[in-house]
Amino acid sequence: MSRACVIVLDAVGAGALPDASDYGDEGSDTLGNVAKAVGGLDLPNLEALGLGNVEPLEGCPPQPGAPAVAGRLVERSRGKDTTTGHWEMMGVVTPQPMPTYPHGFPHDVIDPFMHRTGRGVLGNKAASGTEIIQELGEEHQRTGKWIVYTSADSVFQIAAHEDTIPLEELYEGSRAAREILTGKHAVGRVIARPFTGEPGNYERTSNRHDFSLEPKRPNYLTLVREAGNKVHGVGKISDIFAGQDIDESRPTKSNVEGIKQTEALLQELDAGLIFVNLVETDMLWGHRNDPVNFHRCLQDF
């Protein structure tokens, strides 16, 4: 095989892993619950490929003669975040979970971050990104302070209104945080989360940028390149791997753009690895527990 394409539909899960209770996710079944919520999946192409062979899904019966192999994989790594999952797909197992901060970040993280960036901090707690910008956005615009928050994942997230703090300053602040968050505080990702809009109607933009830890090498990306082939990342793949072993990165602002870039690469390339992340099922609809738009997003794919 000279060419391979790996597409990750972010957060499209099919049942709970054995350690789900460690993360408060016992009984999770994203695809199954979406199917129930919309009265049955309407995904004829995925159904024909054997999606219904993965697990019982309303509206998506099993296909015994499907032309594709279907199944479920269990992570060996400890953790459930984007970095851990994508790294393991490329052969990097994370035996110890990356640090999480359900009660916010300690002074030995926040104080040097404020000193390095010259701005104060609002929030510093675990929160929904869409909710915290509504809660603190107006104060952020009035004071110029960063909105810092985290989630159940190993992430340090920095939100800033694009009219209050320029994008490049947000990215520079995120790079500073990445340099600070090392050792026992080495979170998987620092995420720049720009937003726009007016009080009560703030919206996150597509100018998000992730600053990841560097994965261990060699990994599968390394081996692909050592074999004389190139690695092409679509979406946030390059961010997840801190740019390591990515010959070409094609950042995207939507799933539709990501699919178009993938189709273009499949037309252009006879060899190499195309590694794709389509994030809208997670970023737009998964975090909001919106099964109708989650299903529509799968239909678009």
Helix, strand, or coil (residue 224): helix
Task: Check residues 177 and 25 and name the one with the higher pLDDT.
Answer: 177
SS3 content of the chain, % helix, strand, coil (to 5): 40, 20, 45
For the chain, what are the domain ranges?
Answer: 3-98+213-300, 107-209
pLDDT value for 187: 96
Lowest mean pLDDT among 21-30, 57-66, 163-172, 253-262: 21-30
Percent of the chain with pLDDT over 90: 90
Number of residues assigned to the chain: 301
**Superfamily of the domain at 3-98+213-300:** Alkaline Phosphatase, subunit A (3.40.720.10)
| Residue type (1 letter), 243 | G
| Mean pLDDT for the stretch of residues 96-103 | 93
Provide the pLDDT confidence category of residue 92 given band limits of 50, 70 and 90.
Answer: very high
Neighbouring C-beta atoms of residue 26, cutoff 10 Å: 11
What does the pLDDT average to over 36-50?
98
The arrangement of secondary structure in 107-209, i.e. its CATH architecture, is: 2-Layer Sandwich (3.30)
**Mean pLDDT across the stretch 177-182?**
98
Q: How confident is the model at residue 4 (pLDDT cuts 50, 70, 90)?
A: very high
**What average pLDDT does the structure give for the chain?**
95
Q: Give the per-residue pLDDT at 288.
A: 82
Is residue 22 scored above 90 in pLDDT?
A: no
pLDDT tier at 129 (50, 70, 90 boundaries)? very high
Q: H-helix or E-strand containing 203?
A: strand 201-204
In the chain, which ranges are continuous DSSP H helix? 30-37, 44-49, 82-89, 107-117, 129-143, 167-180, 220-226, 237-240, 255-268, 280, 291-300
**What distance in Å separates the CA atoms of residue 19 and residue 22, rounded to the nearest whole number?**
6
Q: Write down the pLDDT at residue 287.
A: 81
pLDDT mean over 278-298: 92
What is the Cα–Cα distance from 25 to 273, expressed in whole angstroms?
33
125-128-130-136 Cα dihedral, nearest 10 degrees? -20
Q: Are 244 and 227 in contact (CB under 8 A)?
A: no
pLDDT for position 216: 93
Q: What is the number of alpha carbons within 13 Å of residue 270 lying toward its C-beta?
A: 0
What pLDDT, on the 0 to 100 scale, is given for residue 44? Answer: 97
Rounded to whole angstroms, the Cα distance separating 279 from 210 reads 13
Supply the pLDDT for residue 81.
85
Give CA–CA dist 95/107, Å, rounded. 27
Give the pLDDT confidence score for residue 171 in this predicted structure: 98
CA dihedral 105→189→214→241, nearest 10 degrees, is 180
pLDDT-based confidence at 79, cuts 50/70/90? Answer: confident
Q: What is the tens place of the pLDDT at every residue in 210-257?
A: 999 999 999 999 999 999 999 999 999 999 999 999 999 999 989 999
**pLDDT at 152 (0 to 100):** 84
pLDDT of residue 261 exceeding 90: yes
The answer to whether residue 167 scores a pLDDT higher than 90 is: yes
